[in-house]
Structure 1
Amino acid sequence: MTRKPWELPFLAEPEEVAGLRRVMRLHLRLWGLSDVSDAAEICVSEMVSNVIRHVGVGTPSTLVVEMKGTHLRVGLRDPDTRALPTLLSAGPDDESGRGLAMLDAVAERWGVILGAESKLVWCDLATPLASPGGHIDDPRVAKSEACLTLYAGGVVAENLGVGRAGVVFQEEAAIDLIADILHWLRAHGHDPDEALDRAQLHFEAELGLAG
């Protein structure tokens, strides 16, 4: 699977946080990393709040998301190189100081990269990936890949992890397999539409249990 780095410029304002969390959630779903979505959304919320509180409302900022090996790196770039984040011990009655503590709690590691005109606050989240370009360790996914490999005569296996073209090939092979299964159902007197509906319900139920 290709997980290319992406960036999203925005203005650091409270009303932007919900949208940024939603974009993060949807993007991680496409990357097959929904398992770390909650932690990533917390990181986004806390980093944006930190910019608003210590740099200023409306600060031009950029959300940066990329893979570092099998870790997901979530970063936030802003133009103020003076306001550096500091981990404080916040008491139960303190109104501030908990943001970086939350970041420190959910991330495996975090830090700051200073540039000439900006800084990047980043945090790395552990994922269930066995390899940077692979998928989560799920027996259902492994079975599907075995079926696709048999279906395409080994061609799918040869095209695993070869960039965007490989991803497109695998997707088309999966669609072809589903279409042929629907033909098989129809030939045996079953309703393909009903089967699709039942499969979708089953899939969504399993996602709900996993979440």
Structure 2
Amino acid sequence: MKKTLLLLALTASLSTQAATQQDIDLALAKIKNSADLQVVLNTPSALDALGDNLPQFINSVTVDQQVSFDKEILINNLTATEVYNILALFGQQTTIAQYQGAAIVTDTDRLLLNTTALPVCNAANPIELSVTLDTQKQAHFGYTQSGIECDGNVELTENTTVTYQLVNQPNSPKGLRLTGAGFTNPFDGHIDTVTVSSDGQTIQLQNNIQNPGGSKYQFIFATDENDLLLVSPDPQIIDRED
């Protein structure tokens, strides 16, 4: 009986540890605020790999509820391993899968990028959708659930209403709001209806499981930045037979 209880306790402990790994990384991060950043800049660190691009990267760093920065500066100038080491300073190393454009020079680079993939999102819960602009005014899209990043896609085995909730960040376009969704093939029978909330902050897609396969869609946004419409590059619903 004692052995069984011990095993159950250990299992629960490991499950909790896995579920909070991102929190642990953030807690152990060397850089949590502007003061921490200045301390790190005064000592040798992984940031040194940026060389002449370091000032541009530092200027892109913002500190709000969490630290954010221009990902493209890392992708365009570093190897995957160098990116990973910099992410670790901010407690964001679990997001390395988002840096697929980083250079692959060593086996470690290949390991970090080729075997790391974001999980699909859980359609049972709302999916948080964010859009941010880097210093070059390039839009970047991200998806999270309960603080864990996912790839935006969902896999379904039954009729489901999939909900995406727009979460604005300090570097999101001004007045960002959803206006609808466009489809690569709107006639494939995967999505029946699309509903956007009156404030443009939520979009719901009613799925129809009758046809196995995938349906790619793109979110359409309006902003106060200009009169042009912004279109996301993904995601998709994949209907699978149960």
Larger helix proportion of the pair? 1
**Higher relative contact order (CA closer than 8 Å, sequence separation 6+):** 1
**What is the TM-score when the length of structure 1 is the normalising length?**
0.25
Larger strand proportion of the pair? 2
Bigger CA radius of gyration: 1
**What is the TM-score when the length of structure 2 is the normalising length?**
0.23
